[in-house]
Amino acid sequence: MLSEEMVFRLQLLLDSNQISEKSFAVVKEKLENLLKAHTLDADHPSSGPFTNHLAIAVERVNRQEALKDVSKETEELINQNPDLYEKANQILKDCIWQSGAEITRAETGFITLYLAMFQQK
């Protein structure tokens, strides 16, 4: 179950027209699935910011406005965590609702960063 903060953040993005209803629905479902799979902990301090970032990334990807530039630090993280990168890529793939939307290494890299944070104790 999503935390109050996660629900609040998603709703705020929707109400402020920063994400579409389609992005809201797919991200909410994806977050719920990540919680059920224990990939995400609703009580983790980064779960709220992750909710925001995932929702905005999903909206950008579906609008075909995905970030393209990958920082050196993000590239290093990707190279050190290929399994997390693949998991992050799958998360974004599961949130595609627009035909022709393409996921970029930059967007996947940011999701990888969050997944790495969630694995830290």
- pLDDT at 64 > cutoff 90: yes
Per-residue pLDDT at 55 = 98
**pLDDT (0 to 100) of residue 120:** 83
Q: Is residue 70 predicted with pLDDT exceeding 90?
A: yes
Distances from the Cα of 46 to the Cα of 21, 96, 117, angstroms: 23, 23, 8
Q: Considering the chain, what is the average pLDDT of its residues? A: 96
The confidence score (pLDDT) of residue 89 equals 98
**pTM of the predicted model as reported, rounded to 2 decimal places:** 0.95
Percent of the chain having pLDDT more than 90?
98
The pLDDT tens digits for 5-38 are 999 999 999 999 999 999 999 999 999 999 999 9
- 121 confidence band (pLDDT: 50, 70, 90): low
Report the length, in residues, of the chain. 121
- Determine contact, residues 42/67, Cβ cutoff 8 Å: no
CA distance 49 to 60: 16
| 1 has a pLDDT exceeding 80 | yes
